[in-house]
Structure 1
């Protein structure tokens, strides 16, 4: 992966700026790899003696090779299996489309009694499809066909994502879990129908409002906090076009008073925006303990009020454990009179599963008096 350059504003010196860019870029690479890679594996369960028995007929009567799902490589505390999804793939070279046959889901928990499946090709998510809703079924037989208009060469940079939801009337539909098929060329013989059975994976306590990657870095010489908004992933579509125009707004709150507000640029029609923008906040050492950051991901609207896509809170009073931990890690070993060598301090990066609403204690925070 090539080196990513971040956009920074004012720093105390060019050398400090360059070293911070390199450290954040390195951290972003490792955090992104651990966040999005290696969750699922697909392994072949056929051998030569079983090949005839494991092939089935689908659609045009062509035999389908079957691949069994792997497992969740994360610890049980970080993810859990919510059933399996069986689907098959084939690329139509004549019409230049990827054909996806959603066959069935199995073992979905009983509390999710009205499941349906949404599917899309990451990272763009422009074309999304969904199956019908299956009432009172933990093992729905879907048998629905979808196609994505995409060139064969472009498939190498795409991932196929299935998201299983539970239909709930009069409220937001519940997330059951996800299936992501990476490396389409390596795991599928796309010239013929290839069947896969993969685990439906969910992360406990996480709903489907998206994720945000944020870095903190503190300069003791300047008494400034640098908040790098790196990227967001899987944001909710808010417009009638099925997209959003997201930007990130950060409020610096000290002793329940709003001190400063900073915003990133707007990324038009993008549910997976990449910012790499650094926002600067004055922060004396004696105000660190009483300061929190309210980070909102907003959908820009030309007319009317901007909509909240999600939020997180960073600081000692954050209701989110990762928000408290990142704040503590950023200011570890600092004292009121300490002036550390900033070149030795590493930026602290954290992925946030953003909340759908602002926590009550951070709503309607008044502006600080000058």
Structure 2
């Protein structure tokens, strides 16, 4: 994957972020249902079976860019949801399995119609071939209610492994009235999200054999979990080469304001011999900057010999292919960190 392709800007100006959700361990008391829970689990009338609602959309997976393009075209014959006999529909996308906010995208709302036309493309970045084999795309249509809970109209699901690589496929399907499995939302995104996906990060690794330097590139992030009340975050990335190498072991990127898809394009260098590098671990963590108080941890990953999956493969390829830049996407997950207050230099604020 070329660097220019990996940095392709997200085509999601009209995306509205929805509350994060995840499954809560049985030993914990679930919090009250959220507005989204009420929307998804909303009861429905007995005449639903006679309502024929159609949704037209197309899917394209670009393997080289690791992008899944979802073009929401139009719907037809939606069930009336408002007193005027019409609806205010929008489409929400959700990759399953995975209930975190980083997996959810949505279109704009089309007002007062039962036959909305969106022609809107939403893009999932950092989607690997492995994801395509394991995940299902859920498309649900709902009615937006300014004065109450949004109401569920119908949904359809596409098993992504059936989609041919690099070939667009158009669907025109009936929406089903399915009561989705209810998920509960963690209020602070900190207590109940062990192992939950919180977004993805594109990292480049290069080992310069002439200078004995490891060059780490923080390229971009995609679909980060929102940590602020405005539905966004102010993300920055922190990297740490361990075992500790003193002050030179830690670096931070600049802060990107009010975004869930930041582009950093920053590189950091570690002076370390190749034999020593094989014994080290690179901690990568993404944070939401909060002025005057502790920054919020969004998610992280670890690269190194003790890592697994793509993280191990990326590290091994770097060690094996000296002087060659290797770029890979990595999943950011929630894991517990020691209590830490991070103060950034004034130049980053």
Give the structure 1 partner of residue 239 of structure 2.
250
Q: Deviations over 1:256-305 (max 9, x none)?
A: 98861011111122221110111111121220211110011111222222
- Which aligned pairs between 1:1-370 and structure 2 lie closer than 5 A? 24-25=3-4, 34-38=65-69, 40=70, 55=77, 58=80, 59=86, 64=115, 78-81=133-136, 85-86=140-141, 103-105=153-155, 139-140=178-179, 166-167=183-184, 207-254=196-243, 260-318=249-307, 320-332=308-320, 342=323, 345=324, 347-358=325-336
Q: Deviations over 1:306-350 (max 9, x none)?
A: 2211111011112x411110000111166xxxxxxx4xx2x1111
Q: Provide TM-score, normalisation by structure 2.
A: 0.52
- The DSSP-based 3-state class of the residue aligned with 1:279 is strand
Q: Deviations over 1:163-197 (max 9, x none)?
A: x9722578869x9xxxxxxxxxxxxxxxxxxxxxx
Answer whether contact 1:218 1:331 (CA < 8 A) is retained.
yes
Unaligned runs of 5+ in 1: 1-21, 46-53, 90-99, 109-137, 142-163, 176-204, 335-341, 365-370
Greater Rg over alpha carbons, structure: 1
Give the structure 2 partner of residue 126 of structure 1.
none
Q: Deviations over 1:121-161 (max 9, x none)?
A: xxxxxxxxxxxxxxxxx8239xxxxxxxxxxxxxxxxxxxx
- Displacement of 1:106: 6.1
- Displacement of 1:44: 9.3
Separation (CA, whole Å) in 1 of partners of 2:317 and 2:203: 13
- Bigger shift: residues 24-33 or 222-231: 24-33
Separation (CA, whole Å) in 2 of partners of 1:73 and 1:308: 24
Report how many aligned residue pairs link the two structures: 227
Separation (CA, whole Å) in 1 of partners of 2:267 and 2:116: 49
Separation (CA, whole Å) in 2 of partners of 1:170 and 1:210: 18
- Displacement of 1:56: 5.4
- The DSSP-based 3-state class of the residue aligned with 1:78 is helix
Q: Deviations over 1:37-58 (max 9, x none)?
A: 34x577999xxxxxxxx74564
Give the direction of change, closer, same or farther, for the CA distance of 1:57–1:324 in structure 2 (3 Å limit): closer
- Displacement of 1:33: 5.4
Answer whether contact 1:311 1:358 (CA < 8 A) is retained.
no
Q: Deviations over 1:220-258 (max 9, x none)?
A: 001111111011111122223332211111001138988
Separation (CA, whole Å) in 2 of partners of 1:64 and 1:275: 41
- The DSSP-based 3-state class of the residue aligned with 1:323 is helix
Answer whether contact 1:31 1:349 (CA < 8 A) is retained.
no
Answer whether contact 2:248 2:270 (CA < 8 A) is retained.
no
Give the direction of change, closer, same or farther, for the CA distance of 1:208–1:165 in structure 2 (3 Å limit): farther
Separation (CA, whole Å) in 2 of partners of 1:44 and 1:241: 29
Separation (CA, whole Å) in 2 of partners of 1:353 and 1:267: 19
Separation (CA, whole Å) in 2 of partners of 1:287 and 1:327: 13
Separation (CA, whole Å) in 1 of partners of 2:186 and 2:252: 36
